[in-house]
Copies of this chain bind each other. A is one copy, B any other.
Amino acid sequence: MELLKNKIRQEGTVLNNSVLKVDSFLNHQIDPVLMFQMGEEFAHRFQDAGATKILTIESSGIAVALATGFKMGLPVVFARKKKSVLMNEAAYTAKVFSFTKKESSEITVLKKFLAAGEKILIIDDFLASGEAALGLTEIVRQAGSTVAGIGIVIEKSFQAGAAKLQAANYHLESLVRIGSFENGQVLFL
């Protein structure tokens, strides 16, 4: 997605050989117009996937998942990283390790929002080690549903996640794929 590549070139900051900061439009400040362009792109790429619901994870996945849900006419569920005291109901959970926050957390989706037999489109902002996406696929499996596809805004193809998801035969669509960071520059595939 050329528009997103340009935004990353203009506003992204390469912090080291594995971390890209895009907090000016994706995960702290949000550019609503870009979110809807990305939602439209995911809607296009997954138009034949037969998805019945979208699943993402708080917080940075919510905006792009909402935009995608709006374009596809589907409800969105976001997995919680921290259970509120109001979530005292039957739930699916999976363990996820965050490399940027350096901690393991349990993600939770209430069972009532994932019925068996659904076709779930997973949407998230970054794909690096694949921990978050695999945690979400595990929740879909527990629910007795199938994964209709996995849509990622920024794939860091040099980390293990993309290969893991492809090895598991998921239909993976990433809006941009990054091959490496060199001298502070982003090299797209």
Contact = CB atoms under 8 A, between A and B. Distances in A.
Interface stretch (A27-35, A44-52, A146-154, A173-181): A27-35
Contact of A59 (B24, B59, B113): B59
A122 interface: no
Given A32-B66, A32-B70, A100 B86 contact: yes
B19 A78 contact: no
Contact of A84 (B31, B58, B100): B100
Interface residues of A, number: 40
B70 A35 contact: yes
Contacts of A128: none
A77 B60 CA distance: 11
A66 B39 CA distance: 13
A90 interface: no
A110 B32 contact: no
A28, A66, A74, A86, most chain B CB atoms within 10 A? A28
A74 B32 CA distance: 8
Q: 4 smallest A-B Cβ distances: which pairs? A: A32-B70, A58-B59, A32-B69, A30-B76
